[in-house]
Amino acid sequence: MNQTLIAFVEDKPGVLNRITSLFRRRNFNIDSLVVGKTEKKNISRMTIVANEKNSEKRKNIYFNLIKLINVILVKDVSDIPCIEREYILVKVCINSENLNSFNELAKKYGARIIDLSSNSAIIEASESKDRISILIDKLTPFNIVEIMRTGKMAMQKGLEPKNKEVHNINGQQNLTDNLWATKQLNSYLK
Amino acid sequence: MKNYEPKRILTGAEIIWECLIIEGVRTVFGYPGGAILPTYDAFYKYRKKIHHVLTRHEQGATHMADGYARASGKVGVAMATSGPGATNMITGLATAMMDSSPIVCITGQVPRHFIGTDAFQETDITGAVIPVTKHCYLVMEINKLASTISEAFYLARTGRPGPILIDIPKDIQNESVEFEYSNKLIQIPGYHLPPNPPNHHIIKVIKLINEAKFPIIFCGNGVILSGASSEILKLAEKSGIPIATTLLGIGGVPDSHPLVLGMMGMHGHSWVNHAIQEADLIIACGMRFDDRVTGKLNTYSPNSKKIHIDIDASEFNKNVKVDISVHSDLKIFLKELNPYLKTHTHKKWLRKISFWRKESHGRDVLNRKHKVLMAAEVIREIWKNTDENTVIITDVGQHQMLEAQYYNHENPRTLLTSGGLGTMGFSLPAGIGASFHSLENEIWIIVGDGSIQMTITELATAVQENSNINIAIINNGYLGMVRQWQEMFYDARYSETPITSPDYVIIAEAYGLSGQRVTSFDDINSAIKKAQSINGPAIIEFIVEKEDLVYPMVSTGADLNDMVQRPKKDYNLKSDNKKELLN
């Protein structure tokens, strides 16, 4: 199984560059990387899917990522219950003969037709990676013209325990709630 | 309470110098140019408070800052202009990065409205140095200049130290703002320093130490960076465990100590490598299991449990799988650990190691007579003629390994060498830099004939600054270490390794310093003494055996204890006067 990491990073120029540079430099493979703004000002959130099977190397990716100064917090959610979604846009060729079966297929796999012309259609879907793959398989007979996939986003299920302690690191108040990160660090270091 | 101070409106250029003064910087190594001109103009005002060393190349400036940082433990500062000035710094940054040396490099950048237009002397230096710096900044607002500089110094010297680059556009240097500086307000949410060590590690570590029969402690660069020399010695003495050092760990523990074995690795002592392979416990302190230290990974110390203590968690299990990884500042952890240790001795184990040690005695080049000068002899004589506070700076190659083998260091920060990156040309500028900290201590730069020619321009800097440095050029007419590999692994095809040198005595004269040449053993001492008596830079060129090799050697991909030893007789010497060599 691929490694899924959620990284909270400072929303500053060059941060994405630093992360991709790290993966390239250390010879880690990125499967997909999604980045966007969050509920917190000046903090962006990334879901990074790394194609690494070796468990020691996975930890190494985690520690190298958190070592970057602009990376505030990293969660390795590979083995944690998560909602995982990928968004997809597909343009296919259609005609009057297969329009009905196309409609049915879209309905069955939770896809929505968002553009329709006499000879083409665009559908969107947001599903787990596996269901997206099935959808693409089923669409293949319709002569796919273009596919655009965003890559995986992940969000942990349930609420995390609130962190009320103020973590004092080196005499400084660490303002991020890094209880989770501290826990994960410790479990990795055992 | 401080008296009311009127608000000070300063230009960006003035702010740079004010910040450096507050950070305690007394020496800046740099080279002016177009995009850093406003800062150099402002310097005119500050020249009584900060000394600026005009280097002859920006690479030299970074190595000088690096040498200063390694000798002092403080942050070294280098300054350069945009474009080529900045790119010339990259080798120096990478050198500092690999060896965790705290330096701050300040570069000028083209004015903000020119950024991205391929303007004259524009280069995306922050983009270029991401992989070779701990962090880098492009300052785009005058309001953030002071806080960025304070953050840079904080990052450079804390945690695992490393190089920081700050790129400052020219128009920001000219802009004015109210100056406010506080290094107490630094908040970097993503900068995680290790917490104090959790107790369960100490219990586990103690258990392993108590169970071990053949334990060994590794002393790496982290011992010096963390200032943990006395703590690691206490650990060794109390538990009776011998210590091996890495190349950069040399000086972290005194070589004269009975429990200190010497250097490990590719050109480490044979008894050390044997001990590592036979050990049943390794306590690795502040090191990173570099490939030059381990040899073949899957046969590396096969029977040992391994404890790894490091401040950088990304080093754990990177190369060698360890049993316990302790994420902590070394000094803090050892201080907590030491009281729990039982007093113990490992007589049988130490006897075994001294047996290996005696075995290699006959193969030591110093125990043989040669009619030609040997590089190892030169280094041994320098050692005999200098005291324990002498700072040695080596370059990269055969002389570097021989220094590590034949010069015994007693104190931390007395050997400065480019270990990780292996940067030829490091020693001369780094030695000049170190001389600005170690004013009292003697400084010896040991350098090969290949390496000196890479940065020989900095001789002019040494003369201009009247740096009190002694430069020992070990001249064998080859790029010796590459030639060694060609002899051993490429059927002695010496492709592009023979190298000519200028007449270094005339070079010395031309640059305006003292120069001597030594060709025989009997002249070494008088030459060293003469160089020592000169207040200012001095060169001694030692003409040594052309085709000697550094022994022992672990070939790449070989087991650590599978060492090529010096042959019983030196049949490999192929010098012109070969017949006379063999006794």
Going by C-alpha positions, the residue among B387, B466, B472, B392 that lies closest to residue B430 is: B392
Domain-embedded: residue A169: no
From chain B, pick out residues whose CB is under 8 angstroms from the CB of A13.
Answer: 138
The Cα of A66 is separated from the nearest Cα of chain B by a number of Å equal to: 8
Q: What pLDDT does B193 receive? A: 85
* C-beta atoms of B317 and A174 within 8 A: no
> Is the CB of B314 inside 8 Å of chain A's CB atoms?
yes
CATH code assigned at A46: 3.30.70.260
What residues of B are annotated to the active site?
58, 120-121, 170, 481
Q: Is residue A190 part of a domain?
A: no
| Residues of B whose CB is below 8 A from A21 | 130-131
Tell me the residue type at B2: K
For B313, the closest of A9, A56, A63 (CB atoms) is A63
Q: Which residues of A touch B317 (CB under 8 A)?
A: 56, 59-60
Interface of B with A in 430-449 (CB under 8 A): none
Residue A26 in any domain: the answer is yes
Q: Which residue of B has its CA nearest to A23?
A: B131
Q: Is A72 in Cβ contact with B189 (below 8 Å)?
A: yes
The CATH class for the domain spanning B199-358 reads alpha beta
Give chain A's domain count.
2
Same domain, A35 and A74: yes
The CA distance from A50 to A63, in Å, is: 14
Mean pLDDT of B352-372: 88
- pLDDT given for residue B7 in this prediction: 75
Question: What separation, in Å, do the N-terminal and C-terminal C-alpha atoms of chain A show?
Answer: 23
Please tell me if residue B130 touches chain A, with a CB cutoff of 8 Å: yes
Check residue A175 and give its pLDDT.
Answer: 35
Within a domain: residue A123? Answer: yes
Domain that holds residue A45: 1-80
- pLDDT (0 to 100) of residue B574: 52
pLDDT at B549 over 80: yes
Residue A165 has pLDDT above 50, yes or no: no
Nearest CA-CA distance, residue B443 and chain A, Å: 36
Which chain A residue shows the shortest CA-CA distance from B314?
Answer: A63
Q: For residue B573, what pLDDT is reported? A: 56
Q: What is the average pLDDT across B435-445?
A: 93
Asked if the model's pLDDT at residue B272 lies above 90, the reply is yes
Q: Which residue of A has its CA nearest to B326?
A: A189
Give the pLDDT mean for B511-540. 96
Which among A39, A55, A80 is the end of a domain? A80
Whether A175 is in a domain gets the answer no
- CATH number for the domain that contains residue A122: 3.30.70.1150
Nearest CA in chain A to B136: A69
B223 in contact with A, Cβ within 8 Å: no
Assess contact for B392 and B416: CB atoms under 8 A: yes
* pLDDT per position as a tens digit, B190-220: 898 887 666 678 899 999 999 999 999 999 9
In angstroms, the separation between the Cα of residue B292 and the nearest Cα of chain A is 19
Looking at the structure, tell me whether residues A88 and A67 fall in a common domain: no
User: b/e for B147-175, b at 16 or more Cβ within 10 A?
Assistant: bbbbbbbbbbbbbbbbbbbbbbbbbbbbb
Q: Is B269 left (phi over 0), alpha (psi -120 to 50) or beta?
A: beta
pLDDT score of B556: 86
> Is B189–A59 a contact, with Cβ atoms under 8 angstroms apart?
no
Residues 6+ positions from B412 with CB-CB distance below 8 Å: B223, B224, B227, B229, B251, B252
CA nearest to A70 within chain B = B190
- In this structure, are residues A125 and A132 in contact, taking their beta carbons and an 8 Å threshold? yes
Q: Identify whether residues A62 and A2 lie together within a single domain.
A: yes
Q: Is B191 on the interface with A (CB under 8 A)?
A: yes
Q: What is the mean pLDDT of chain B?
A: 94
Residue A116 lies in a domain: yes
Q: Which residue in A has a C-alpha nearest to residue B194's C-alpha?
A: A169
What pLDDT is attached to residue A170? 36
Average pLDDT of B133-142? 97
Q: Long-range contacts made by residues B252-258, C-beta under 8 angstroms, separation at least 24?
A: B252/B219, B252/B220, B252/B221, B252/B223, B252/B224, B252/B228, B252/B412, B253/B219, B253/B223, B253/B229, B254/B409, B254/B410, B254/B411, B255/B408, B255/B409, B255/B410, B256/B408, B256/B410, B257/B233
Mark whether A102 and A150 lie in a shared domain. yes
CATH class of B9-178: alpha beta
Give the mean pLDDT of B349-353.
Answer: 97
Q: Which of B42-46, B129-133, B356-360 has the lowest mean pLDDT?
A: B356-360
Q: CB of A59 within 8 Å of any CB in chain B?
A: yes
Question: Do A108 and A53 belong together in one domain?
Answer: no
pLDDT band at B579 (very low <50, low <70, confident <90, very high): very low
Residue corresponding to tokens 């990334």: A46
In a domain, A12, yes or no: yes
Cβ contacts of A54 on chain B, cutoff 8 Å: none
Same domain, A75 and A92: no
Amino acid at the residue B110 = V
How many separate helices (H) and strands (E) can be counted in chain B? 24, 22
What separation in angstroms does the CA of A127 have from each of A124, A130, A136?
10, 8, 12
Q: What is the mean pLDDT of residues B235-241?
A: 97
CATH number for the region B364-550 comes to 3.40.50.970
Residue B537 has pLDDT above 90, yes or no: yes
Mean pLDDT of B258-287: 97
Query: Considering the domain boundaries, does residue A168 fall inside one?
Result: no
Q: Is the pLDDT of residue B17 over 60?
A: yes
Q: CA triplet B442, B448, B451: central angle to 5 degrees? A: 100
- B182 at the A interface (CB within 8 A)? no
**Contact with chain B for residue A71, Cβ under 8 A:** yes
Query: Minimum mean pLDDT among A1-5, B214-218, B230-234, B437-441: which range?
Result: B437-441
* Co-location of A52 and A2 in the same domain: yes
Task: Compare B262 and B362 and report the one with higher pLDDT.
Answer: B262
End of a domain among A63, A80, A97?
Answer: A80
Q: Is the pLDDT of residue B56 over 80?
A: yes
Selected residue with higher pLDDT from B184 and B513: B513
* Binary contact (B131, A169; C-beta < 8 A): no
The reply to whether residue B327 touches residue A18, judged by beta carbons under 8 angstroms, is no
pLDDT in tens, B154-194: 999 999 999 999 999 999 999 999 998 766 667 788 898 88
Domain ranges in chain B are 9-178, 199-358, 364-550
* C-beta atoms of B191 and A186 within 8 A: no
Close Cβ partners of B190 (under 8 Å, ≥ 6 residues apart): A9, A10, A66, A68, A69, A70, A71, A72, A73, A176
A54 or B107, which is more confident? Answer: B107
Q: pLDDT at position B183, please?
A: 60
As a dihedral over the C-alpha atoms of residue B8, residue B11, residue B13, residue B17, rounded to 10 degrees, the angle is: 0
Percent of chain B at pLDDT > 90 equals 88
Q: Give the Cα separation of B447 and B132 in Å (integer).
A: 25
Check residue A164 and give its pLDDT: 41
Residue by residue, DSSP assigns B538-579 as EEEEEE--TT---SSEEPTTS-TT-EEPPPSS-TT---TTHH
A4 and A75 share one domain = yes
A86/A114 same-domain check: yes
pTM (2 d.p.): 0.93
Q: Which residue has the higher pLDDT, A158 or B55?
A: B55
Provide the percentage of residues in chain A whose pLDDT is more than 70: 84
Q: What is the pLDDT of residue A167?
A: 39
Question: How many Å apart are CA B138 and CA B124, to the nearest integer?
Answer: 10
Residue B578 has pLDDT above 60, yes or no: no
Q: Using 50, 70 and 90 to split pLDDT, how confident is the model at A97? A: confident
pLDDT of A96 > 50? The answer is: yes
Q: What is the pLDDT of residues A116-148, one digit of tens each?
A: 998 999 999 999 988 999 999 999 998 999 999
Q: Which residues of A touch B126 (CB under 8 A)?
A: 14
Examine the domain organization and report whether A63 and A7 are in the same domain: yes
User: Which range is least confidently modeled, A125-139, B69-83, B460-474?
Assistant: A125-139
Q: At which residue do the structure tokens 């803090």 appear?
A: B332
User: Across the interface, do A170 and B126 touch by the CB < 8 Å criterion?
Assistant: no
Above 90 in pLDDT, residue B576? no
